Amino acid sequence: MRRLRHLPRPRFPRTLRARLTAGLVVLLAVSCAAVGLAAVVELDGFLTGRLDQQLQQSGPTFPQSLEHGKYKPSDRDGDEHGDTRRQAAGTFGARLVNGRITNAALVPADDDPDLTVGLTARDRTALAEVPANGRGHTVRLRSIGDYRIVAWTGLDGDVLMTGLPLEPVHATVHRLELVAAVVFGLALVVAGVAGALWVRWSLRPLSRVAATATRVSELPLASGEVALPPRAPESDPRGEVGRVATAFNRMLGHVEDALTKRHASEERLRTFAADASHELRTPVASVRGHAELALFHPGPVPPEITRALERIAAESARMGEMVDDLLLLARLDAGRPLERTPVDLTRLVLDAVTDARAAGPDHRWSLDLPEDPVTVPGDTHRLHQVLANLLANARLHTPAGTKVTVTLETDGGRAVLHVHDDGPGIPADVQPGVFERFTRAEHRRRQDATGAGAGLGLSIVAAVVEAHAGTVTLRSRPGATTFTVELSATPAPQGRRAVSTG
């Protein structure tokens, strides 16, 4: 069975300007074709009617003379053997008796006295079918061409036919067709160019609105202070384009007001977070210090008091880490620059995995590192925090026995770090906002996870990586979760080595 080939779809103009211009040209082309067709049909009918008038005026004189005998040179002025007087060159005459042509002649164009014409069998059949009603009929004769034929009934019951050639009519009509095609073609070209310029000038205000909208769409409106571009120039408000420009400018004004209010609110919230973090560090450290001091009291302390003091110290330490995380996020939001020193990312990965193995001995940890060290420009402490948070996320939210694989590689001048685990995966409804602050799944990947934070770990990862002009992405499904971090790096290493740490 043959497969049907899909033909390419016709390409239509996409822009409004191109569509309007194309529509104008198409309408003009249809109008020109209609006018040209009407002119050709009218001219053809007019010229054919003139031939019929000539045939009516000349009457059956010429075919009547044919029944007396063959035309002779001495009969040039006309007698009973063939009257050619007042007959135009090329005039055809024929006599039919009982549906059969007995005589047929053609007036010559020069002094040649021979009037005979050779008709084919098909020509004779076509002539026999012409009704003898005294009206013109077009007959195509293969031997002499297209003719306009008029037939009359003779006095003795025969049929007399007279015809004139249609070649002059066809030549005139074809000439008109050629002239019309050239004139209308030039008119279409001129109208197309002029129409394109007119449409472009008419839609210029709309193009400005589109250009302004494009510039607005390219602005980072998600966060930070945004300066909107100048408004689109307004035109006549009575027209559609003017109303669109006015409505668009009014909408931009509302958007700018909303962005200004949002930015002011974010600034107040950021300032509050930073101030609160600064203010909370001292009392939290004080509470932790007093709890630890009470634990070192030499005297006897009841066990429940000791347990309470230990919990106070642990929660104070956790609160201190949370305060430090909030302060870090506030600093990153404020755009404070990080250190930019060469960082041995390979060493950081080794140290972070070693620490994670010590904290999670019930997990299986695997390393896949390049032979040569990978160096990236950045802040050593913050990049170590990125690695620690990713590994802690894999450790805290996966069950015991889960295999966690850390892969470091280079690709096109960028360092690529993968943290993969074969745990239960992250719920699909949580994945879109996993890097947002305080995002926590209702059902954790590990139902018995303990020691989970406040949902700031991955948001710190995203903020630190973004501050290093890098990217972090997530791919997760049941049995496979991978976090990928890309950073600028030195040229790619030559080899790789695999390390299993337990």
Question: What SS3 class is residue 467?
Answer: helix
Domain with residue 427: its CATH number is 3.30.565.10
Residues 173 and 300 in one domain: no
Is residue 190 one of the residues assigned to a domain?
A: yes
Domain with residue 260: its CATH number is 1.10.287
Question: What SS3 class is residue 169?
Answer: helix
User: What number of CA atoms fall less than 13 Å from residue 175's CA on the CB side?
Assistant: 7
Integer CA distances (angstroms), 284 to 274, 305, 314, 331, 451, in order: 15, 20, 11, 20, 19
Q: Which residue blocks in 334-430 are alpha helix, DSSP H?
A: 345-359, 380-396
CA distance 303 to 306: 5
Domain residues for 25? 13-57+167-202
Q: Which residues pair with 500 in a beta bridge?
A: 366
Task: Provide the pLDDT for residue 74.
Answer: 38
Q: H or E element: which one contains 409? A: strand 403-410
Highest mean pLDDT among 48-52, 68-72, 281-285: 48-52
Q: Is pLDDT at 447 greater than 50 in this prediction?
A: no
Show the tokens assigned to 265: 């609110």
Average pLDDT of the chain, as a whole number: 78
Burial (CB < 10 A; 0-12, 13-18, 19+), residue 198, is middle
Residues 28 and 125 in one domain: no
Residues 414 and 466 in one domain: yes
Phi, psi of 211 (to 5 degrees): -65, -40
Per the model's pLDDT, the better-predicted residue between 301 and 440 turns out to be: 301
CA distance 178 to 180: 5
Q: Which residues pair with 403 in a beta bridge?
A: 364
Residue 71 banded pLDDT, cuts 50, 70, 90: very low
CA distance 466 to 488: 12
Residue 273 banded pLDDT, cuts 50, 70, 90: low
Residues 392 and 455 in one domain: yes
pLDDT digits (tens, 9 = 90+) for 387-405: 988 999 889 889 988 999 9
Is residue 7 one of the residues assigned to a domain?
A: no
Residues 347 and 493 in one domain: yes
CA distance 113 to 83: 12
DSSP 412: S
Q: Is pLDDT at 34 greater than 70 in this prediction?
A: yes
Residues 312 and 229 in one domain: yes
CA distance 138 to 166: 8
Residues 250 and 269 in one domain: yes
Model confidence pTM above 0.85: no
CA distance 319 to 307: 18
Contact criterion met (CB below 8 Å) for 465 and 485: yes
Per the model's pLDDT, the better-predicted residue between 306 and 351 turns out to be: 351
Residues 368 and 487 in one domain: yes
Domain with residue 121: its CATH number is 3.30.450
Residues 22 and 101 in one domain: no
Residue 486 banded pLDDT, cuts 50, 70, 90: very high
Residues 179 and 161 in one domain: no
Question: What SS3 class is residue 8?
Answer: coil
Q: What mean pLDDT is predicted for residues 272-291?
A: 65
A 10 A CB-CB count for 139 gives: 20
CA distance 169 to 48: 7
Residues with Cβ within 8 Å of 220's Cβ and at least 6 positions away in sequence, in order, are: 226
Show the tokens assigned to 185: 């073609």
Q: H or E element: which one contains 485? A: strand 480-488
A 10 A CB-CB count for 63 gives: 28
Contact criterion met (CB below 8 Å) for 406 and 393: no
Residue 39 banded pLDDT, cuts 50, 70, 90: very high
CA distance 186 to 203: 25
Show which of 310, 336, 362 is a domain's final residue.
336
Q: How many domains does the chain have?
A: 4
Integer CA distances (angstroms), 426 to 115, 391, 456, 464, 483, in order: 104, 15, 16, 22, 11
Task: Provide the pLDDT for residue 417.
Answer: 92
Show which of 292, 318, 336 is a domain's final residue.
336
pLDDT digits (tens, 9 = 90+) for 95-123: 898 888 888 888 887 655 567 788 888 98
Angle between helices 380-396 and 345-359 (to 10 degrees): 40
Residues 193 and 161 in one domain: no
CA distance 210 to 227: 18
pLDDT digits (tens, 9 = 90+) for 348-362: 999 999 989 988 899
